[in-house]
């Protein structure tokens, strides 16, 4: 990945120090900068300068680290690790830290290791850098979207009356990993019938019945990059109300998506979808933002929201996911992933958006 982009937004820093904690304090910037798609790298660090990147890690991760082509410093034990950080930052005055990913204890360690530095919060600079994706990042996200799309299509003929929401969630996770995902990119949502009215529902033991809505919100993680897809189908024959609900959401997605291009404001894209839904019998039932950024995180950054003034830029990746939710009845959400282009967008999720009736 292009680590130099960080310094476009943080010119006042001499270097950036990224320290990777344990599984409870992971800084994904470590993987963003190095591009490494394996290993855990707990207790490792990066020294990032405008002209170079150095990885400080243990022998445990040495082989994986060297595959990046970056300079690798092997430091076994806490003392060697801290000495390597101090020596590689000697002679520098201002050090950038990703405050948003630092624990208090980790920050105290840094103050002790290099007490003579001026620290600058570069978390916003890192976020700005990560918004626009490189070609390598786009390639990984496209593959994650392809995997998710194919997995969804592969499970449709496996839906059976009486199976539980949890079974379907496990089924699509299995399909995604079979197709090359390292794991689901988040906890899969599967909601049958009336449960589909809750956008962040957790699947349980509710059994599938004829003519239920089946809402599935899922994504694949591929080489640390995510897809995020939602499809809503009917198991059986769709009622007129189900068709009407679906058609309103489909039109809201289709019309708002057409507006996506560089320099369009995300809140204006959101407004298109919201106007369509609020102009229907489902007014007030679209209860979340239209979409968000996508990358190493599923919610990479805000993007399409009525509450966020945000001009889109080329090579951002965003979701478009309008929904309608009616308590005790059910809900419909259709979510796709798109790459912003100068004059439009590239739709990278390929599963059909038509209303499917699964017999």
pLDDT digits (tens, 9 = 90+) for 91-127: 999 999 999 999 999 999 999 999 999 999 999 999 9
Distance CA(65)–CA(86), nearest Å, equals 20
Alpha helices in 158-309 (DSSP H): 165-178, 240-257, 266-278
Banded pLDDT at 9 (limits 50, 70, 90): confident
Whether the domain at 3-129 and the domain at 135-358 fall into the same CATH topology: no
Instruction: Tell me the CATH number of domain 3-129, given options 3.40.50.300, 3.40.1410.10, 3.40.350.10, 3.40.50.720.
Output: 3.40.350.10
Query: Would the pLDDT of 159 be above 70?
Result: yes
Rounded Cα–Cα distance for residues 339 and 70 (Å): 29
b/e 265-298 (16+ beta carbons within 10 angstroms → b) = ebbbbbbbbbebbeebebeebbeebbbbbbbbbb
The predicted model gives 122-134 an average pLDDT of 93
Segments making up each domain of the chain, as ranges:
3-129, 135-358
pLDDT over 80 (residue 12): yes
CATH of domain 135-358: 3.90.230.10
Over residues 214-242, mean pLDDT? 98
How many CB atoms are closer than 10 A to CB 118? 12
Q: Could you tell me the pLDDT band of residue 19, with boundaries at 50, 70 and 90? A: very high
DSSP 113-159: HSTT-EEEE-HHHHHHHHHSPPHHHHHHHHHHHHHHHHHHHHHGGG-
pLDDT at residue 156 tops 70? yes
Where residue 352 falls (left for φ over 0; alpha for ψ -120 to 50; beta otherwise) is beta
C-alpha–C-alpha distance, residues 84 and 157, integer Å? 56
Output the pLDDT for position 1. Answer: 67
């Amino acid at each position: 990945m292009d680590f130099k982009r960080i310094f476009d937004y943080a010119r006042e820093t001499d270097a950036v120090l990224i320290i990777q904690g344990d599984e409870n304090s992971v800084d994904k910037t470590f993987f963003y900068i190095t591009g490494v798609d394996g290993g855990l790298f707990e207790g490792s660090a990066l020294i990032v300068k405008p002209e170079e990147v150095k990885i400080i890690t243990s022998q445990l991760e040495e082989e994986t680290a060297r595959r990046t082509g970056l300079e690798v410093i092997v430091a076994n034990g806490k003392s060697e690790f801290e000495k390597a950080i101090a020596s590689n930052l000697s002679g520098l005055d201002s050090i950038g830290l990703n405050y948003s990913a630092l624990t208090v204890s980790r920050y105290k360690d840094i103050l002790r290791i290099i007490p003579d530095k001026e620290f600058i919060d570069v978390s916003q600079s890192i976020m700005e850098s990560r918004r626009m994706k490189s070609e390598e990042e786009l390639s990984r996200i496209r593959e994650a979207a392809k995997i998710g799309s194919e997995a969804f299509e592969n499970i449709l003929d496996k839906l059976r009356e009486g199976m539980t929401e949890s079974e379907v969630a496990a089924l699509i996770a299995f399909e995604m990993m079979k197709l090359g995902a390292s794991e689901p990119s988040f906890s899969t949502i599967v909601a049958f019938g009336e449960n589909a009215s809750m956008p962040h529902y957790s699947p349980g033991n509710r059994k599938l019945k004829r003519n239920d809505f089946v809402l599935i919100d899922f994504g694949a993680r591929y080489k640390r990059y995510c897809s995020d897809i939602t499809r809503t189908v009917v198991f059986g024959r769709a009622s007129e109300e189900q068709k009407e609900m679906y058609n309103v959401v489909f039109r809201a997605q289709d019309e708002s998506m057409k507006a996506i291009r560089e320099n369009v404001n995300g809140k204006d894209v959101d407004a298109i979808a919201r106007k369509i839904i609020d102009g229907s019998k489902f007014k007030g039932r679209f209860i979340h933002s239209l979409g968000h950024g996508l990358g190493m995180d599923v919610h990479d950054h805000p993007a399409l929201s009525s509450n966020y003034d945000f001009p889109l830029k080329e090579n951002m990746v965003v979701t478009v996911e309008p929904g309608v939710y009616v308590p005790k009845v059910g809900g419909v959400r259709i979510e796709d992933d798109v790459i912003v282009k100068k004059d439009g967008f590239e739709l990278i999720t390929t599963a059909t958006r038509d209303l499917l009736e699964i017999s």
